[in-house]
Amino acid sequence: MSNLTLKNINKIYPNGFQAVYDFNLDIKHGEFITLVGPSGCGKSTTLRMIAGLENISEGEFYIGDTLANDLNPKQRGIAMVFQSYALYPNLSVFENLAFGLELQGLDEEIIEERVIKTAKILGLETYLDRKPRELSGGQCQRVAVGRAIIRKVDIFLMDEPLSNLDAKQRVTMRSEIIDIHRKVGSTTIYVTHDQTEAMTMSDRIVVMKDGYVQQVGTPKELYFEPVNLFVAGFIGEPPMNFVPCHLENESLLFNEASVSLNLVSKFPQIKEHKELYFGFRPEHALVKYDDPSIGVEVEGFVELTELLGDNTNVYTKIGEHNVILKVDPHDAPKVDSTFKFLIPYESMYFFDKETERVIK
């Protein structure tokens, strides 16, 4: 039972490239933490430093009260699941699961008991005699997870474990991993570039960009209270709409003044900022509403609609700027028609154009 602490962690690779800057995080025992961000932002590097596979250039990493910077991977009580599964191709599922326990020199009976128990948790009981090549991607992934949990360690690290699976398998494995995490009760640190995985699985999410932590928070905090333009645009699908605008005589002017919204009386905090981005999420715009006083009404022209089943994406513009609205398919306006939509005040965000930070 141990908390993990990362204090002012920096990673500079031998070629001089700095991949991680001043990473700080306290992880409570049992938490499911996800590191998310675009390719190359430093997620795997951070995970590998926690695993002991990559040395920490600067800063301190604690497991409980123990400074762990110089502990080797084995001493850290950590199990890691990789994207590639890393199974032994010539060993059966049983042997793959048993391998680590045999190395520990455990009794055959105990090994068998633990393999069967783990196979049950993962629904692999009927596959124990098969070789990895006789399994689907999802089943291989389950064996890889099984190899981690069978070791009964306190900390699991997972690096893009679902990226080799098809979309349907990913959804299934997502809930299986959450279920296993609950059953086993260990701390899990999970790396992905997929914001949906991060949002659906995590207790807390760490959003990274270019080696810097942008924000740490619960999925709800990141969705409703993003601290900057990057986080606001990264979390949510389709992403938040951003419309450049500037402030003149108490009015927000969009796209060379073709649209003007008087929002300063409602949001006095924007007065201090001349150039801004106005933001709202596609799913928060309304095309059917009784009370226009709860927001601002905008006239749009429908350029394209995409029916996705449970909702329709409507492509339109504010002034000259493209925006997407996500609406109930029954309410979707027709292509090539003009229509009105409402952006509720409570769903509006403003960002300073220069700092890209949210204006609160």
Return the C-alpha torsion angle 216, 220, 225, 226, nearest 10. Answer: 50
Contact with ligand ATP (CB under 6 A): which of 27, 42, 93, 118? Answer: 42
- Within 10 angstroms of residue 133's Cβ, the number of other Cβ atoms is 9
Q: Is 290 in the site for ligand ATP (CB under 6 A)?
A: no
SS3 call for 241:
strand
Instruction: Show the site string, 144-183: x = touches ligand ATP by CB under 6 A, - = not.
Output: ----------------------------------------
Looking at beta carbons only, is 19 or 149 nearer to ligand ATP?
19
User: What DSSP designation does 107 have?
Assistant: -
* Measured distance between the N- and C-terminal CA atoms of the chain, rounded to whole angstroms: 39
| Binding segment (CB under 6 A) for ligand ATP, from list 39-47, 181-189, 300-308, 316-324 | 39-47
- Residue span 43-82 as binding mask against ligand ATP, x where in contact by CB under 6 A, dash where not: xxx-------------------------------------
Tell whether residue 216 is a contact of ligand ATP (CB under 6 A).
Answer: no
Interaction between residue 17 and ligand ATP (CB under 6 A): yes
Cβ-based nearer residue to ligand ATP, 41 or 140: 41
Q: Dihedral of the CA atoms 305, 306, 311, 317 (nearest 10)?
A: -40
Shortest distance (Å) from residue 45 CB to ligand ATP: 3
| List 1, 15, 107, 167, residue binding ligand ATP (CB under 6 A) | 15
Q: Which is nearer to ligand ATP, 214 or 347 (CB)?
A: 214
Note whether 247 and 273 are within 8 A (CB): yes
| Maximal C-alpha separation, the chain | 80
- Identity at 63, one-letter amino acid code: I
- Of 4, 6, 19, 25, the one binding ligand ATP (CB under 6 A) is 19
Angle at 346 between CA 340 and CA 349, to 5 degrees: 90
**Three-state SS annotation for 272-339:** HCCEEEEEECHHHCECCCCCHHHEEEEEEECCEEEECCCCEEEEEEECCEEEEEEECHHHCCCCCCEE
Q: Give the pairing type, strands 321-327 and 338-344.
A: unpaired
Question: Looking at beta carbons only, is 42 or 279 nearer to ligand ATP?
Answer: 42
Which CB sits closer to ligand ATP, 40 or 137? Answer: 40
Segment interacting with ligand ATP, rule: CB under 6 A, options 1-9, 10-18, 110-118, 268-276: 10-18
Q: Cβ 139 to ligand ATP, closest distance in Å?
A: 24
Which residue, 8 or 55, has its beta carbon nearer to ligand ATP?
Answer: 55
- Per CB under 6 A, residues contacting ligand ATP are 13, 15, 17, 19, 37, 39-45, 193
